[in-house]
Amino acid sequence: MTSQQVTWYNTLYRRILDYVTNEQLWINIGLALVKIIAIIIAAKVVVSLTHAFVNRIFQNREGSRIQFERRRVDTLRVLINNVTTYIIYFLAILMVLKQLGFDLQPVLVSAGVVGLAVGFGAQSLVRDVITGFFIIFEDQFAVGDVVTINNFNGTVQEIGLRVTRIRSWTGEVHIIPNGSIKQVTNFSVQNTMAVVDVSVAYEEDLEYVEKVIAEVAKQLKQETEEIVGDPQVLGVQAFGPSDVIIRVVAECKPNTHYAVARKLRAMIKREFDARGIEIPYPKTVTVTMPSDKARLRGE
Find the range with the poorest average confidence among 90-94, 158-162, 200-204: 158-162
Count the helix, strand and coil residues of the chain and give each as a percent rounded to the nearest 5.
Answer: 55, 15, 30
The mean per-residue pLDDT over the stretch 92-99 comes to: 82
If asked whether residues 93 and 182 sit together in one domain, one would say no
Q: pLDDT value at position 63?
A: 45
Beta strands in the chain (DSSP E): 146-149, 152-159, 163-167, 173-177, 184-186, 192-200, 232-239, 244-252
Predicted structure pTM score: 0.54
If asked whether residues 10 and 42 sit together in one domain, one would say yes
If asked whether residues 12 and 94 sit together in one domain, one would say yes
Report the domain count for the chain: 3
The closest alpha carbon to 89, from 148, 41, 134, 129, belongs to 41
| Residue 264 pLDDT greater than 90, yes or no | yes
Cβ atoms 165, 175 nearer than 8 A: yes
How far, in Å, CA of 299 to CA of 296, rounded? 8
How far, in Å, CA of 254 to CA of 191, rounded? 4
Domain boundary among 186, 203, 220: 186
How far, in Å, CA of 251 to CA of 173, rounded? 30
β-strands 192-200, 232-239: how paired?
unpaired
Q: State the residue range of the domain holding 90.
A: 3-60+67-102
The mean per-residue pLDDT over the stretch 249-267 comes to: 91
Residue 290 lies in a domain: no
Q: State pLDDT tens for residues 161-205.
A: 788 899 998 889 999 998 888 888 888 888 888 999 999 998 889
> In percent, how much of the chain has pLDDT > 90?
19
If asked whether residues 177 and 98 sit together in one domain, one would say no
Domain boundary among 170, 186, 202: 186
Residue 282 lies in a domain: no
Residue 76 lies in a domain: yes
